[in-house]
Structure 1
Amino acid sequence: MEGDEPTVDKTAPDKSRGGCGKLIRIAFGMSSTTMFYYTKVLMDLFIEAESKDGVSFRSITSVEDFWKFTKGPLLDGLYWDKWYNGQDLPPSTEGYIYYENKLLGVPRLRQLRVSTNSCTVNSEFASFITDCYSMYTIDQESKEAFGPYFGKKTNDTALLVEFPATGGAQPSWSFNTVKLIRYVTDFDKFIMGCEVVFCIFILYYIIEEIIEIFATGLKYFADFWNVLDIVLIGMALICIIFNVHRTVTIVERLGDLLNDPGSYANFVALGFWEMRFNNIVAITVFFAWVKVFKYISFNKTMTQLSTTLSRCAKDLLGFFIMFFIVFLAFTQLGYLLFGTQVNDFSTFMNSFFTLFRIVLGDFDFHQLEQANRILGPIFFMLFVFFVFFVLINMFLAIINDTYSEVKSDMAKQTDVFIMADYIKQGYAKFRDKFGFRREKLEGYEQILAGDLADKKMTVSEWKEELQKTGFDEGDIDETFTKFDVDGDRILDVAEQKHILQELQRLQ
C-alpha cells in the first residue's frame, strides 16, 4: 500500500506568475533613471540659476524680484543664442535648451487675478480699507480683460509665483518628466508586445473571475484574495484604457504642433494624467506583489509570517483605532500649540508627519523648547511616553504573542508540505530520470541485507543507516511511510520483504 503524498496546488503560482511578470516589465520598461537627472538639470536651470542681482526663482520675495528673474534666468534658460565658447548659435539650433532638448511650441506667461472686493471688509475697518482681495480660487478669479488673452493654458513645466494680499511673494514649481512617445526603440517595441500579452492575461482573468462569481455567488467576496483580484483587474483596465487614450492624443497633438510650430503646446493636462497613470501602475505592481502572500504556504517560514498577520488582524485593528485616537489628539495639540512658530507644526498635516518622525527618532527638540519653554518639553515627554513607550510596545507585544502561538502550533504539524520538500522531490525525479535510480535501489538493498536483516527496524534506525549512504531526509521519510503498512513507525520482517519484492520489480 502506498502512503498518501502531501498535496499542494502547484499550478497556483504559475497562474499569476505570467501576469505579474508582464506587469513588472511594463512598469519598469516605461521609466528610466535618466528622468531624475533630466528633472534635476531643468531645476538647476530655472530654479537655482541667479540673475545679475543674485535673485533666483527660489529666492523671489517681491514683485521686483519676480521681474528680475523673468528678464534674467528665465529668458536665458528658454532662449539659447550662444555656444559654451561664446560663439553665436546657428539658426538651425533655435528652440533648443542645453543644445539638445527641443522646446515644443512656445512658452507662455499666464496671469491669474482675484477680483477686487472678493471678500468682505469688517465694518470697523471700512474707513481704512477700501479694497479686499480673497485667496485665489477658480470662483474668485477675475474674468475682466487686462491685456492680451491667451486662454486657460499653462506649461508642462510650471513656475508659479503667488502674490498674496498680505504682501511679498511665494514661489513654487512643478516639473513633470514623462515619456509620452512610448514606442521608439526596439526595447520599447518589446514593451509594447508585453502590453499586448498583458491585455490577453487580463481578459483571461476577467472571464475566470466571472465564472467563479457565478459558481460561488456572494461567498466569492468574503475572501480577501478574491477582492484583491477584483481590485487588480480594475486598476489594470484603467491603465489599459489610459494607455490607448494617451497614444491617440499624443499623435493628434504632435500633428497640430508640426502644422503650426509657433503655437502653444498644451501638454499640461496630458502630463498630469500621465503622472497619475504612472502612480496607478506603481500601486498595481505593489498589489501584485502582495498577492504573492497567497502562495507562500510552500515555505514554512513564510507561512508563519502570513498566518501570524492573519491571526492578529482583529487585535491589530482594535489597536490601530486606539493608536490613532491618541496620535490625532497629539497632532491637534502640537498644531495648536506650536503652529504659529514651528514650521514642522505649521499645518495639521505637517504636525501629523512630524509626530511620525519623532516615533522614528527624527526630531528637533530645540525648536519645541524655543517655541514654548514649558509646554514644549511637556508635550514632547508626554508624546514619547504614551506613544513610543506604551503604544508601540503594545503593538510589538500583539505581534510577538501571536507569532509564538503560530510557531507552537506549526511545530506540532508533521505533514506540512513546504518548499524544501517540493525542491527535493523535483531533484529526486531528475535523478531517477537520468539514471540515478539504480544507485538508490542498491542503497536500499544494502540496508535490508545488512545487520538489521530479519529484525524489526524503527524509523530512527532506518534513517541512521540510510543517511550513512548519502540519502536525504525527505527520501528516507517518503520510503518509510510508503512501506509502513500498519503505521506503527516500525518495519517488521513482512514489511521488509515487501520492500525487497518492490525493489526487485523496479529493477
Structure 2
Amino acid sequence: MAFYRTWSEEFKEFALYLFFVILFCAVIFMPRNADPYFMAKGIRDTFTTNEFTYNIDFDRMTTKKQALDWFEDVLIPNLLPEEDYNGNELTKLEKQFITGYNKRLGTARIRTVKVQDNSCTVPAQLQSKIQECYATISADNQDKTDYWNNHTVIKNNKVTSTILDVPYMEGADASWYSPATKLTYPGGGQVIELDNDLANVTEVWSKVKSHDFLDSSTRAVFVNVNMYNANVDLVSATKFSIEFSSAGAVFTSSQIRCLPLIRPVRVLLGDGATSNASLTFTLELVFFGMVLMYILNEFRIIKIHGYVYLKNIWNQLEAINLFLFLVVMILRALSLGYIGNVYDSFAIDDTYLDLDWVVYFAKLVENVNAFNAVLTFLKLFKFVRENRRMSQLIDTVELASIDMGSIMVIILVIATGYGIAFHIAFGHAVTEYRDFAESLFTLFLATLGDFDMDELRSYNQVLGAFLFVTFIVIMFFVVISMFLAIVDSAYESVREQLLEDGGDADEMDPLTRDVLRIITAPTIIGNKIFVLFVGEKEDKGPSEEELEKRRKEEAKKLAEEEKKKMMSPEMMERQAKLKVEHDFKSLYDEAMGRIDKLKASQDSLQKTLNLISDNITIVDQGGEGEGGGEGEQTMGDTIVQEGGE
C-alpha cells in the first residue's frame, strides 16, 4: 500500500485509462484478420465477376434480359453445383458447398419490390398511347399483393397453361438504402425461395421467365444467400441487388458481410471454440465491466458536483464515449441472443435462415466502435494537457477556434453555392454531380486534387472550365490558405509561449514525473540486481542526490537544445533581442539599486554631520556664558608671565 500511495492521483487515473484503451484494442483486433476479406473476395469472384455474356458480368449488366441471364447462367449453377472442377459428379453433401469451401445455410431467397399500377399520372394528350405508369418506389405506392399470372402457350395445336403464384411477405427482409439511387426499399416483397434441388429450382425459374415476373412494375430484385466457412469460423450474409430505375437505368450492387457471429455462442456452449475466441470473449466481458465501472463513477461525480461537471468539454467527451459503449453493449446482447435462438437452425437445409437483423446489429456495432475509437484516443489528450509540450494540439485549436469558425462559415457558403451550380450544370450528365450531396463531396475531393476537368469540358467547355477554375482559385488558393494561416499563426503563438514558459526543466507535472519513474525503473532494478549478485564496488560512484542533480542538469540542457531546434531564424533573432533587452534591463535595475543605496548612505551621513554640528554649537554657547572672563584673565596672565621670564 505504501508503494501505491507514492504515485500521484493523475498517474493512477492515467494508468487505469491506459489499461482501458489497451483492453479496447485487444477486443477489437484479436478476432480480426484478413480472413473475412478473403472469404468475401471468393464469393464476389464467384457471383459477380464471372462473365455470362461477352464482356458482361453482374456489375456491368444494363437490361432485364441480362439480369435473367445472370440468374440462369451464374447464380443458380454456382448456388447449386452438380459437378466439381474436373467434371466429376458431387455427392449429396458436397452439393451443399459453394466453391467447395462455403456451406450453404438454409435456402436462398429471391425478393422483388414492385410498385402499384397507375401510381403516376400520364398527360391527357398521351393517355391513349401510354397505358401504364409506374412511379419511383416509396412506402405508399408499393405493391403489396401476391403476384399471380396464368401463362398460356399454344404449340402444335395444343394449349398449355401454367400458373405462377408468388406470395407477398411483409417484413421478409430489413429495409435497404441504395447508395446508387439514394432510395430506401421496404423490407416486404414478393418472395421466391429456392430449395436445394437443382431440378426444382430450374423449373421454378423457367416459370419466372415465361410469366414475365420482372415486369415494368418491378423496381428491385434482391437475392439473399447465407454461408458458413468452417475453416475460418465465419458466417457470410450475402445480398445481391439489382435495381430497375423508373427512369430506365439498371444499377447493381453486392453486400457480402463475413462476420464471426457464432464464436461467442460456441464459447458459451463449449462447442469447440478456439482459445483465441475464448480469450476474446473473456476480455470483452472485462472491458464491458470497466465500462459499467466508469459509468457508475460518472454518476457519482455528477451527484457530488451537479451538472456543472458536464460543462467541461473533456467530461462531455467522456459522457458521449461511455454512452456509445453502453449502446454497443446492448447491441451485442441483442445480437448474441438472436444468434443463440437460430443457432440450432444452422443444420436445417430446407428453410430460409434469416440473419439480416443480426448482421445489421453486428455492422452497427462496428460503426459505433469506429466512432468510439476516435473518442477513446482523443481522451488521452486530457491526461497530457498538464504537460505543455504534449498539449500543443489542444492549445492551438483553442487559440484558433474563433477564427476557424468564421472561416468554416465562409467555406460552407462557397461550397454550397458551387455545389448547386455544378449540380445544375452537370447533374444530368456526370455521375459525380447527379445530386447536391454528391456534388458537394466531389468538390471536396477536388480540393484534394482528385478531379476530372476533361469530363466537365466535354459537356460544357466554357462553363465547366469557368466554374472549376474559379472554385479552385477561391476555395484552395484563398480560403484554405487563410484557414492554414490561422492555424499556423496560432501554433506559432503556442510555440513561442512554450519557449518562454517551458524553459525550466526542474518544474515537472506529477504525471510526467511518474511516467519517467516507470521508464527508468528497469535501469534502477537492473542496477540493484547487479549489486546484489556481483557486489558493490569500493568506489560507490555518485549518490542518488548527485544523480538526480545530473539528470536535472541534462534535462535542462536538452530543453535548451530543443528550444534552439524549435526556433526559426526569425524567432532566434527575436529571442536574442529579448535576451539583450532583458540583460540590459537587469543591469540598469542593478545600477539604479546601487545608486539608491548610495543616496541613502549620503542622506544618513548628512544627518550625522548635522547632528554633530548642532552639538558643537550648543557647547560653544555654554562656555561663553559662564567662564568667558576667567578665561581671558588666565590667558593674559599667562602672556605676562611669559613676557617676564
Query: For 1:192 and 1:257, how far apart are their aligned partners in 2?
Result: 22
What are the ranges of 5 or more consecutive residues in structure 1 without an aligned counterpart?
Answer: 1-5, 446-462, 478-507
Query: For 1:96 and 1:36, how far apart are their aligned partners in 2?
Result: 19
For residues 332-411 of structure 1, the aligned pairs below 5 Å read 332-411=420-499
| 1:239 matches 2:302 | no
| 1:14 matches 2:33 | no
1:158 is matched with: 239
1:493 is matched with: none
Shift of 1:270: 1.7
Larger mean Cα displacement after TM superposition, 419-428 or 195-204: 419-428
1:149 is matched with: 167
Q: Identity over the aligned pairs, expressed in percent?
A: 23
- Provide, for residues 199-240 of structure 1, a one-character-per-residue CA deviation record: whole Å limited to 9, x for no partner: 221121112111111122121111111111111111111111
| 1:253 matches 2:342 | yes
- Provide, for residues 101-140 of structure 1, a one-character-per-residue CA deviation record: whole Å limited to 9, x for no partner: 1110010112221110011223343333222101112321
1:106 is matched with: 107
Q: Which amino acid aligns with 1:250?
A: I
Q: 1:428 to 1:63 in 2, by over 3 A?
A: closer
The answer on whether the counterparts of 1:93 and 1:99 sit within 8 Å (CA) in structure 2 is yes
Query: For 2:376 and 2:544, how far apart are their aligned partners in 1?
Result: 48
Query: For 2:39 and 2:366, how far apart are their aligned partners in 1?
Result: 17
- Provide, for residues 234-279 of structure 1, a one-character-per-residue CA deviation record: whole Å limited to 9, x for no partner: 1111111111211121121122343x42000111122122111111
2:127 is matched with: 126
Q: Which amino acid aligns with 1:177?
A: C
Q: 1:292 to 1:312 in 2, by over 3 A?
A: same
What's the Cα RMSD here?
Answer: 2.9
Shift of 1:370: 1.4
2:186 is matched with: none
DSSP 3-state at the match of 1:161: strand
For residues 8-407 of structure 1, the aligned pairs below 5 Å read 9-51=10-52, 55-146=56-147, 147-149=165-167, 151=169, 152-154=171-173, 155=224, 156-167=237-248, 169-183=250-264, 184-258=273-347, 260-297=348-385, 300-407=388-495
The answer on whether the counterparts of 1:51 and 1:68 sit within 8 Å (CA) in structure 2 is yes
The answer on whether the counterparts of 2:385 and 2:391 sit within 8 Å (CA) in structure 1 is yes
- Provide, for residues 283-304 of structure 1, a one-character-per-residue CA deviation record: whole Å limited to 9, x for no partner: 1122101111112236543222
Larger mean Cα displacement after TM superposition, 117-126 or 363-372: 117-126
Q: 1:181 to 1:150 in 2, by over 3 A?
A: farther
DSSP 3-state at the match of 2:350: coil
Aligned pair count reads 451
Find the structure with the greater CA-based Rg. 2
The answer on whether the counterparts of 1:298 and 1:417 sit within 8 Å (CA) in structure 2 is no
Larger mean Cα displacement after TM superposition, 29-38 or 61-70: 29-38
Q: 1:90 to 1:140 in 2, by over 3 A?
A: same
DSSP 3-state at the match of 1:312: helix
Q: Which amino acid aligns with 1:60?
A: M
DSSP 3-state at the match of 2:239: strand
Higher relative contact order (CA 8 A, sep 6+): 1
Q: Which amino acid aligns with 2:31?
A: M
Q: Which residue, out of 538, 543, 561, partners 1:441?
A: 543
Q: Which amino acid aligns with 1:149?
A: P
1:417 is matched with: 508
Shift of 1:88: 1.1
Shift of 1:420: 7.1
The answer on whether the counterparts of 1:257 and 1:263 sit within 8 Å (CA) in structure 2 is no
DSSP 3-state at the match of 2:32: coil
Shift of 1:345: 1.3
Larger mean Cα displacement after TM superposition, 390-399 or 58-67: 58-67
Query: For 1:203 and 1:431, how far apart are their aligned partners in 2?
Result: 38
Q: Which amino acid aligns with 1:173?
A: S
Shift of 1:444: 5.2
Q: Which amino acid aligns with 1:71?
A: E
Name the one with the larger strand percent: 2
- Provide, for residues 25-69 of structure 1, a one-character-per-residue CA deviation record: whole Å limited to 9, x for no partner: 111233322111211111111111122565421222222111111
1:449 is matched with: none
Q: Which amino acid aligns with 1:293?
A: F
Shift of 1:422: 5.2
Q: Which amino acid aligns with 1:181?
A: I
Q: Which amino acid aligns with 1:441?
A: S
Query: For 1:61 and 1:426, how far apart are their aligned partners in 2?
Result: 65
Query: For 2:473 and 2:372, how far apart are their aligned partners in 1?
Result: 38
DSSP 3-state at the match of 2:294: helix
Q: 1:297 to 1:341 in 2, by over 3 A?
A: same
Q: 1:475 to 1:423 in 2, by over 3 A?
A: farther
Query: For 1:242 and 1:440, how far apart are their aligned partners in 2?
Result: 60
Query: For 1:268 and 1:474, how far apart are their aligned partners in 2?
Result: 60
DSSP 3-state at the match of 1:86: coil
Normalised by the length of structure 2, the TM-score is 0.65
DSSP 3-state at the match of 1:9: helix
Q: Which amino acid aligns with 2:277?
A: D
Query: For 1:423 and 1:236, how far apart are their aligned partners in 2?
Result: 28
Q: 1:323 to 1:255 in 2, by over 3 A?
A: same
- Provide, for residues 428-482 of structure 1, a one-character-per-residue CA deviation record: whole Å limited to 9, x for no partner: 776498369952239959xxxxxxxxxxxxxxxxx9xx86xx98524999xxxxx
Larger mean Cα displacement after TM superposition, 414-423 or 206-215: 414-423
- Provide, for residues 166-209 of structure 1, a one-character-per-residue CA deviation record: whole Å limited to 9, x for no partner: 43533222222222112332111101111111122112111211
Normalised by the length of structure 1, the TM-score is 0.82
Query: For 2:515 and 2:368, how far apart are their aligned partners in 1?
Result: 36
DSSP 3-state at the match of 1:417: coil
Q: 1:127 to 1:474 in 2, by over 3 A?
A: same
Q: 1:474 to 1:53 in 2, by over 3 A?
A: closer
